[in-house]
Amino acid sequence: MSLRSRLAISIAVGALAAAAAATPAVAGDERESRGDWGHHQHHQQHPRLYKGVVTADTLLLRSAPNRGGQVIRTAHRGEIVKIFCKTSGENIKGNPLWYLLTDGTWAWGSARYIDNIGAAPRWC
């Protein structure tokens, strides 16, 4: 992965962490559901998360978008995962895309073994 891609990912992860720390409101917040944000309050949009389903029996999730990245955790067939974004990485059986997952840890999973649910994730 290029230095530019790594920098973009670092910025995206930092921005998401900062937004999460600074914004206690979550989807379903009482004010949001009532629609009474008030004249001077602003609704802050959270970065959109995408979803996917794991198709491998056991998928190794890594610290980088390649098989050389440290294994952080695993996911199993049928598990629904939250995807932050996608990037190009090591080609796995004809698929060079990797997804940055946000399920409790930030980890990369090969898109070869994750089917999108809904829209395809944005680029990192």
Task: Give the burial string for 26-37 (b: 16+ CB within 10 Å, else e).
Answer: eeeeeeeeeeee
CA–CA gap between residue 45 and residue 26 (Å, rounded): 10
What tokens were used for 84? 């932050």
* pLDDT (0 to 100) of residue 103: 87
Identify the residue whose tokens are 């190794």.
60
Neighbours of 101 (CB within 10 A): 26
pTM above 0.75, yes or no: no
Q: Torsions phi, psi of 83, nearest 5?
A: -110, 125
Chain segment 11-58, per-residue pLDDT in tens: 444 444 433 333 333 333 333 333 333 333 333 334 589 999 999 999
For residue 112, pLDDT over 90 is answered with yes
